[in-house]
């Protein structure tokens, strides 16, 4: 059994340690930036998106909990109240906990909670090379609505 609870301010540092490392690696792989430049971009983006950390208006940072209190992952979404939608900015089950159905359970629980609050849509972006995440999203009923593309311009 899993649950979702708001991330506490004292948990933000551990989350950002994971997120900046992971997102920086994704930026480097998918956009051809050096590790240093990709990390700097990840930090810039997190500073823009979460200027007040866990208290940033419109941003919801959650811990995914197994059992009574074990944090097994994170879920971050941005609210769009006018459109009654949520955009998942980050969703991560710790590596040692993956493959146990926790991801699908967390998404189902999020969907129920959002529906109960009047939301009608969940959106997200997933990296093309993230097969594990794409599998979880496919199995959870998400469908492809577009494809992001990029080209590096050289001089």
pLDDT digits (tens, 9 = 90+) for 1-17: 899 999 999 999 999 99
Q: Which domains does the chain have, with CATH numbers?
A: 2-139 (3.40.630.30)
pLDDT digits (tens, 9 = 90+) for 65-92: 999 899 999 999 999 999 999 999 999 9
DSSP codes, 29-92: HHH---HHHHHHHHHHHHHHH-TTGGG-TTEEEEEEEETTTEEEEEEEEEEETTTTEEEEEEEE
Q: What is the pTM of this model?
A: 0.91
- Token pair belonging to 67: 């059992």
Closest C-alpha to 69, from 13, 30, 11? 11
Q: Which residues are CB-contacts of 129 (< 8 A; sequence separation ≥ 6)?
A: 29, 30
Quickly state the pLDDT bin for 154 (edges 50, 70, 90).
confident
Quickly state the pLDDT bin for 124 (edges 50, 70, 90).
very high
Q: What φ, ψ does residue 70 adopt, rounded to 5°?
A: -85, 115
Report the pLDDT averaged over residues 11-25. Answer: 95
């Amino acid at each position: 059994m899993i649950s979702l609870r708001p991330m506490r301010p004292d948990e933000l540092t551990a989350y950002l340690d994971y997120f900046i490392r992971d997102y920086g690696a994704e930026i480097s792989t998918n956009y051809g930036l050096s590790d240093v430049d990709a990390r700097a971009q990840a930090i810039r983006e997190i500073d823009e998106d979460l200027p007040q950390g866990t208290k940033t208006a419109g941003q919801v940072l959650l811990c995914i909990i197994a059992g009574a209190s074990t944090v097994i992952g994170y879920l971050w979404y941005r609210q769009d109240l006018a459109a009654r939608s949520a955009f998942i900015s980050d969703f991560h089950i710790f590596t040692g906990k993956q493959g146990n159905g926790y991801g699908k359970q967390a998404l189902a629980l999020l969907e129920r909670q959002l529906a109960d609050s009047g939301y009608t849509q969940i959106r997200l972006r997933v990296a093309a090379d993230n097969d594990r995440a794409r599998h979880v999203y496919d199995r959870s009923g998400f469908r492809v609505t577009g494809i992001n593309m990029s080209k590096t311009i050289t001089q």
